Amino acid sequence: MEEIKTAAQLYRYMKNQLKASGIEDFDLESRILLSYVLKEEPFFVYMKPEKPVSEEDVQKAMALTEKRKEGVPSRYLTRKAYFMDFEFYVDENVLIPRQDTEVLVQKALDFLKDNPKAKVLDIGTGSGCIAVSIALLNPACTVDATDISKEALAVARKNALLNGAEKRVRFIESDLFSGLSDKYDMIVSNPPYIKPSEFLTLQKEVRCHEPVLALVADEEGLAFYRRIAKEAKSFLNDGGFLLFETGYDQARSVYRIMEEEGFTFLEITKDYNGIERVVSGRMNE
């Protein structure tokens, strides 16, 4: 093997390794891992290809490359993900924030324009990405965020702190609504929604590394929508909003669930790929 002395050589090595093991975004992912090891910006390798690399950094980069080849997502290796342009800490206790979920946050922010001081609840906050982003992008609202997982809540708290939102978001350990007593103007949730029968078809990165508790739901993936839509009614003020992220083929079913529970002004919003992704509605308006 050629000796690795510069950032560009190390980058080439990592890229080839990831490409050969079938990783689709091998270029981006090798830059993410390399810049993490060298404590540089993701594009630095184009700017400073001749930057010398130490033997220790080469070893570190190679070890991460091996882990990535085994299926560990880069975001867990670097412990960092980006959502709504904010940085979030992630580990295997929480899902990695997805760009699709930004549509849910955007929709929530649109509705909050008319009621900026709203009380917002995020059910199943995971990394806290939804709750923290809403708090930061709508500074007059207050946000409560729940999760059944203690470990996830520790991550979410860390993310509020990391982004300076720790005074704005209250984290509550709760199985859906069980630990709550307040009423809210808006409830948002990106609940687990993968059908048990589809679990085995997920990429190994997701299937073997992301928390199954955050992914899979009974009743063809609809169990949490049913429970949340039913119970939300006792926790929403009149005219309050309920917004869900849904799986790629679930928006129509979730629309019907919300309709049956009496929600009105129902709307389906597509994500950046044109997939129906967010279902929203209001109570008693």
Q: What letters, b where the CB count within 10 A reaches 16 and e where it falls short, cover 113-131?
A: eebeebbbbbbbbbbbbbb
Q: Which of residues 39-78 bind ligand GLN (CB under 6 A)?
A: none
* Cα three-residue angle 27-30-33, rounded to 5 degrees: 150
Reading the block at residue 183, the tokens are 């009423």
Q: Which is nearer to ligand GLN, 132 or 283 (CB)?
A: 132
Residues 6+ apart with CB under 8 A from 233: 261, 262, 283
Distance CA 39, CA 35 (A): 5
* Closer residue to ligand GLN (CB): 10 or 194: 194
Q: Among positive and negative, which fits the CA dihedral 221, 226, 229, 231?
A: negative
CB nearer ligand GLN, residue 34 or residue 121: 121
- Residue nearest to ligand GLN as judged by C-beta position: 126
127 binds ligand GLN (CB under 6 A): yes
Q: Which of 101, 133, 159, 246 binds ligand GLN (CB under 6 A)?
A: 101
* CA 40 vs CA 16, 29, 32: distances in Å: 21, 14, 9
Is there binding between residue 221 and ligand GLN (CB under 6 A)?
no
Interaction pattern, residues 180-219, with ligand GLN; x per rule: CB under 6 A:
----------xxx---------------------x-----
Interface with ligand GLN, residue 240, by CB under 6 A: no
CA angle 68, 69, 75 (to 5 degrees): 20
**Sign of CA pseudo-dihedral 11, 13, 17, 20:** positive
Q: Select from 18-26, 58-66, 93-101, 201-209 the region that touches ligand GLN (CB under 6 A).
A: 93-101
**Which residue number, 38 or 123, has a Cβ lying nearer to ligand GLN?**
123
Out of 7, 32, 121, 129, which residue is the one contacting ligand GLN (CB under 6 A)? 129
- Told to check if 125 binds ligand GLN by CB under 6 A, we report yes
Q: Is residue 75 helix, strand or coil?
A: helix
Size of the site for ligand GLN (CB under 6 A): 13
- The contacts found for 34-39 with CB under 8 angstroms, 24 or more apart, are 34/7, 34/10, 34/61, 36/64, 36/77, 36/78, 36/80, 37/61, 37/64, 38/7
- Rank residues 61 and 194 by Cβ distance to ligand GLN and give the closer one: 194
Quote the least distance from Cβ 220 to ligand GLN, whole Å.
Answer: 16
Is residue 124 at the binding interface for ligand GLN, with CB under 6 A as the rule? yes
Task: Specify the stretch interacting with ligand GLN by CB under 6 A; choose among 13-21, 38-46, 62-70, 126-134.
Answer: 126-134
Q: Which amino acid is at 16?
A: N
Residue 126 in the binding site for ligand GLN (CB under 6 A)? yes
Q: Which of 32, 95, 155, 232 binds ligand GLN (CB under 6 A)?
A: 95
Give me the residues that bind ligand GLN (CB under 6 A), please: 95, 97, 101, 124-127, 129-130, 190-192, 214
